[in-house]
Amino acid sequence: MGNGRSNAKLTLDEDWLICEVRRLTWLPLDDLHQILKPMFPKLSRSALHRLLQYYGISKKPKELREKPTRSKFKSYEIGYLHIDITDFWLDKKKWSLFVSIDRETKFVYSEIFANKTMENAQLFLKNVYKFYPYKIHTILTDNGLQFSYKALKQELKPNKIHPFDEICNDNNTEHRLTKFAHPWTNGQVEKMNHIIKSATLKLFHYETIDDYSKHLAKFLNYYNFEKKLKSLKFKSPYDKILARYQEKPDLFLGNPSYYCVGLNN
């Protein structure tokens, strides 16, 4: 009998599942289609759009669409990283996800730590330098104690350089901080945090942190090497890196054509 939609090829249960994913994530149509494609191989982008229109959820609710006006990001050479930490709960324990994303290539690196300590921030930064195949000239973080002493009261600030800054200096990298009470100035990585959680923790259940780590690695490899991003004119972050290497090879530490490093490797 069908479910009332013209040319419907999905069952009511499948419709319900797609609608639930839509309401949980409110991802753009292209991103939503990419996530659902493995579960529904025959679901085309146009069919998905018709389905969302039929159930009245093709557009975000007004309260989710309204955002404060933000100025456009200034363009920089590759090697400008946004770094942030986001927390999540799994297996009755709070974990910290450290995330970095390049402003120009959108290339992402992430690691899971049991705590967001200063020592873990240093370890993460060292791994960041090993991960990216090009020179890192600027890093932007918030004012958390993991990254800077700036948020401490004057009488509590130690008379020494922050360990995070020491690593930056050793690699000829400028460490910038966001303005207090202006979290949107680090919006690139904030958005990436949301994308990661929407594609993993909000959609799937994980028994252990090891299960989540493995799935996160697969998602990030897909995002970095296969996902076509509208902001990159429908190229993947890796495609952008290869194109930039052809234009300016002196920005790179080596030929990225042989780059095949995975998460935490």
The enclosing domain of 234 has a CATH number of 3.30.420.10
Residues 145 and 53 in one domain: no
Residues 35 and 140 in one domain: no
The pTM is what?
0.71
Residues 120 and 217 in one domain: yes
Among the candidates 20, 35, 65, a domain finishes at 65
Residues 150 and 124 in one domain: yes
Asked if pLDDT for residue 11 goes beyond 50, the answer is yes
231 assigned to some structural domain: yes
| Residue 176 burial (10 A CB sphere; 0-12, 13-18, 19+) | middle
The 10s digit of each residue's pLDDT in 12-66 is 888 888 998 888 888 888 888 888 888 888 888 998 999 999 999 988 887 776 6
Closest CA to 88 of 196, 214, 221: 196
In terms of residue numbers, what domain contains 20?
Answer: 12-65
Query: Which helix (DSSP H) or strand (DSSP E) does residue 211 occupy?
Result: helix 209-225
Rounded CA-CA distance 11/13 in Å is 5
Number of domains forming the structure of the chain: 2
Query: Which helix (DSSP H) or strand (DSSP E) does residue 4 occupy?
Result: none
Residues 57 and 113 in one domain: no
- The per-residue pLDDT for 181 is 60
- Paired strand residues for 98: 85, 111
Query: Cβ neighbours of residue 212 under 8 Å, at least 6 residues apart?
Result: 90, 112, 200, 201, 206
